[in-house]
Amino acid sequence: IRVTAPLPQAQLVESRLINIAHFQTMIASKAARCVLAAGGKQLIDFGLRRAHGGEAALFAARASYIAGFDGTATVLGGQHFGIPVYGTMAHSFVQAHRSEAQAFRHFARANPGKCVLLIDTYDTENGARIVCEVGAELRRDGIGVTGVRLDSGDLAAHAFKVREILDSGGMTDTRIYASSGLDEHEIAKLLNAKAPIDGFGIGTLLDTSADQPYLDCAYKLQEYAGRARRKRSEGKATWPGRKQVFRRLDDNARLNFDAVVLDGEASTGIRLLQPVMRDGVRLDRPESLTEIRNRAAEEMRKLPSALTVLDRSVPYDVRFSTGLQRLVAGFDAAEN
């Protein structure tokens, strides 16, 4: 992001601009890893309760949807951004009834179009058997049980047993969803175990980005009064001057590397920095969330295979132009 403005104005927007860009980029990155691990399985943001405040939960719903999640359990995300809203019943709903069967009947009749039953309040496999009993009754009234959710214990082992129980009870179309402390690594383990799980609710570890809770981004002065400026602090030196970034693709239309050049310096590739605001006025209509989501999906399809593997640390190649390196050398020479 490049901000060109009088210094007081540029300084004024720093904290909020970084807050917005940093948090949603971090959550979208975490969500994108879950999308890569899930291999097309349904993914729902479940993280409102653990997010660091209501706004964070709302932005997490937005960012995860952009990255490829199918929807969110944060209802305000649906109202505010038009994100598809998904949810299941609560354990408290089951506990408030005299029996699981009664709870399942009441929930199904209140939600005949999207009936996903939570079956692990007491005993998971027994809950699946009760679903089969209640499901037969509901089918006679034209109500189907869309799915069941597992939220505790050995999810893979439960999924195998529950799938067998549901199939034996004639509920072959009822899907199995899983939640409970999941992230991209747990998703990968479950799918590697061939667990018959159709979708995942990702909560705490997504909305807090638990294993990578921040991105090391910065907002630095690179040019002032027409002259390039450079911070030279040990371990925190910056690349000076007004810059542009060009993205290069390989022969297979996959991301190859990015080239950071001085603004106006000749280069080839896709120009990444594009003007969106001038004199405080937006230059074009804002993209819809669907447009942003589709663009994100297209960019993910361009990732080289080395950048789609969860447990390999392969840095993306970023190169700095000759002109930029000469400018840095000039600063260093002046310092000496």
pLDDT at site 331: 83
Average pLDDT of every residue of the chain:
95
Reported as a pLDDT band with limits 50, 70 and 90, residue 336 is low
Q: What is the reported pTM?
A: 0.93
In single-letter form, the type of residue at position 110 comes to A
For residue range 58-90, what is the model confidence (pLDDT) as tens digits?
A: 999 999 999 999 999 999 999 999 999 998 899
For residue range 175-213, what is the model confidence (pLDDT) as tens digits?
A: 999 999 999 999 999 999 999 999 999 999 999 999 999
Residue 190 near residue 178 (C-beta atoms within 8 A): yes
| Per-residue pLDDT at 30 exceeds 90 | yes
Residue 179 near residue 87 (C-beta atoms within 8 A): no
pLDDT at site 103: 98
* Three-class secondary structure of residue 42 per DSSP: strand
For residue range 206-244, what is the model confidence (pLDDT) as tens digits?
A: 999 999 999 988 999 999 999 999 999 998 999 999 999
pLDDT at site 198: 98
Percent of all residues in the chain with a pLDDT value above 70, rounded to a whole number: 99
Q: Compute, in degrees rounded to 10, the torsion defined by CA atoms 300, 305, 308, 313.
A: -130
Residue 204 near residue 178 (C-beta atoms within 8 A): no
Give the closest residue to 207 by CA, choosing from 69, 52, 91.
52
What kind and span of H or E run contains 116? strand 116-118
